[in-house]
A and B are shown apart, each in its own frame.
Chain A
Amino acid sequence: MKFGLALLAALVAAALLAPFLGTVDPAALSPVMRLRPPDGEFWFGTDPLGRDLYSRVLYGARVSLTVGFSVALASTSAGLAIGLVAGFYRTADAVLMRVMDGLMSIPPVLLAIALMALTRASMGNVILAITIAEVPRVTRLVRSVVLGLREQPFVEAARAAGTPGWRIVLRHILPNTVAPLIVQATYICASAIIIEAILSFLGAGMPPNVPSWGNIIAEGRNLFQVAAYIVIVPSIFLSITVLAVNLIGDGLRDAADPRLARQL
C-alpha cells in the first residue's frame, strides 16, 4: 500500500506541477512538427496536430485525477445520505432500493454513456454521469452496514440509555460506516478514472480539445500502426494511476479488517 501511496503522490505532484515540469501549452499546434516519435525535444513525441504529447499527457493527469476524486467524493456523499435514509425508514427503503436496483441493472459504463449522450461534453457532466452510475452501489453498501449496525447490542444499549435518534446516528452509526466507505471510495476513484477514459475514448466523454488520456488514445487510434506511442504512452500512465489507487484501496481494506483490530 505504501508503494501505491508513493506512486499516487508522485502522479498528483506531476499533475499539479505540470506547468513547471518543462511542458508547453498542450493545445499549441505546430503542424510542422506533427507525428514525430519521441526524441530529445519532444520527450513523448507529437500527435497528428503537432501538439507535444508529453505536455498533453501531464495535463491529462489533471483531468483524470480530478474526475476520479470528484466522483469518489460525490458518490460517497450521496450514497451515504441515501443509504442512511434507506437504512432507517422502512417505507423509504422499499422505494429507494427498487430505484437503486433498477439503476444497477444498467451496466455502469452503459449508463454513463447514455447519460453523456444527453448533454454537452464537459468535465462537470462527465463527473455527474459517472457519479450517477456509481451511487447505487454505495447506497447498497451503506444500507447493509446500517441495517447490520442497528441490530448490534451497543446500539440497543444506546437506546436503552436514552440516547436520541440523531445522536445514535452521529456517534454510533456513522463512525462504524466510515471504514468500509473509505475503502469503497478508493475503488470508485479507480473505476471512475477508467470509465472517464473509456467515455473519452468512445467520444462520449471530455470535449475533444481537452487533453484527457482517453481523448489522446482516441486520437491515436487510427494511427496505431504508424505512431503507436500516441496510444501507448497515455495508456501506461492510465494504468499506473489506476494501479496506484487500487493498491491503496487494497491496503486500506486490509487495515480496516476488524480481525486485525482484534489482535491489538
Chain B
Amino acid sequence: MLHYVGRRILATIPVMGVVAVVVFGLLHLSPGDPAAVIAGDQATLEEVAKVRERLGLNRPLAVQFGTWVSGLLRGDLGVSIYDNQPVARMIGQRLEPTIALALCTLLVALCAAIPMGVVAAWKAGTWIDRGIMGFAVLGLSFPVFVIGYGMIWLLSLRLELLPVQGYASIREGLGPFLAHMVMPALALGWVLTALFARMTRTSMLEVLGQDYIRTARAKGLPNTAVLFRHALKNAAVPIVTTVGIGIALLIGGVVVTETVFAIPGVGLLTVDAILRRDYPVIQGVVLVFSAVYVLINLAIDLSYTFLDPRIRY
C-alpha cells in the first residue's frame, strides 16, 4: 500500500507542474506586451520599459520560467506591483481570516449536510425528503452573494442581531469571532450543504437498496445502527469525493464571501489585486489556492484506501 501512497504523491508533481505553467503563462498569454499590461493604460513608454527591466521580461521565456520556478521553491512569490511588498508575506498576513472562514464553513456544511442527506434517504419519497431536497436545490441556485446580502439585510439591518460586516479574530474572544463569522459561514455554507446533502442522499439511497442492509434489518438491528454503522460507511466514498469538489467551490466562494462581508482575507486580497491588475499577487494567490486544492485532493484520494478496503491499486 505504501507503493500506492508513494505513487499517488508523485503523481501530484506533474499536476502542479501544469498549474505552474498555466499560472506563469497567464501573464504571457495575454494579448499585448506583458510589461505594458502591468504598467497600466496610462504608462508612458519609459515607464513600460522600466517595468520590463525590473521584472526581467526581456529575457527568453524559458529563462523567465526557470527563474520564477526556482523562486517559488524558495518561497519567493514575487513582489506586488502596487504595494511593493513580497507577495508571500502579503498572503501570509491575510491567511488567518480565510482559513477561519473556510473551516467554519466546512464544519457547518458537513454537520448540516450529512444528517440531512441521511434523513432524506431514509425517508425517501416523503415530504421530508422533498423538503430537504428542495432546500438543497435552492442552495445551489442562489449565488453566495445573494444569500449573503439577504442575510445582512435580514439579520443586520432589519433585526439588528449581528454586525454587518468585518472580521474579529478569535484571539479577541469567542463571542465577537462567532458574531462576525456566523453569517459568512452560513451564506457560503448553504451552497456546500446543498451539494453534500444531495450526494449523501444519492449515495445512501444506493447503499440502502443493497441486500446486506436488508440482512442487517432482518437481524433486528436498531435503525440508527443500520444507518450509521453499515450504510454510512459504505456510502462514504462518493461523499468524500464530493467534499473534494466542494472544496473547489469553497475556494471560489471564499473570494466572493470576503468581498460581501469585508473580511480581510486572501480572497479580498485577490479582488483588490484584480482591480489593480497586480499580476504577481494574482499569480501568487492562484498558485497557493491551487496547491492547497491539489493537496486536499491528494488527502482525499489517500483516504479512500482507509474507507474502502477494496481500493488498493
Contacts and interface: CB of A to CB of B under 8 A. Distances in A.
B22 A102 contact: yes
Interface residues of A, number: 43
Given A99-B18, A106-B22, A225 B286 contact: no
B275 to A, nearest CB: 5
Contacts of B153: 224, 228, 232
A193 to B, nearest CB: 9
Interface string A97-113: 01101111111111101
Contacts of B286: 106, 110-111, 114
Contact of A224 (B26, B31, B152, B273): B152
Contacts of A246: 137, 140-141
A197 B275 CA distance: 16
Given A114-B282, A239-B143, A102 B255 contact: no
A118 B253 CA distance: 21
Interface in A166-218: 190, 194, 197-198, 201-204, 217
B138 A102 contact: no
User: Looking at chain A's contact residues, is the secondary structure mostly helix, strand, loop, or mixed?
Assistant: helix
B104 to A, nearest CB: 19
A113 B26 contact: no
Contact of A118 (B27, B271, B273, B275): B27
Nearest to B152: A224
Given A107-B252, A201-B256, A102 B152 contact: no
A108 B146 contact: no
B141 A242 contact: yes
Contact of B252 (A105, A109, A118): A109
A203 B22 contact: no
Contact of A201 (B27, B145, B157): B145
A114 B26 contact: yes
A250 interface: yes
Given A106-B290, A242-B141, 10 more contacts: A107-B252, A110-B252, A118-B27, A119-B31, A190-B140, A201-B259, A202-B256, A238-B146, A243-B138, A250-B137
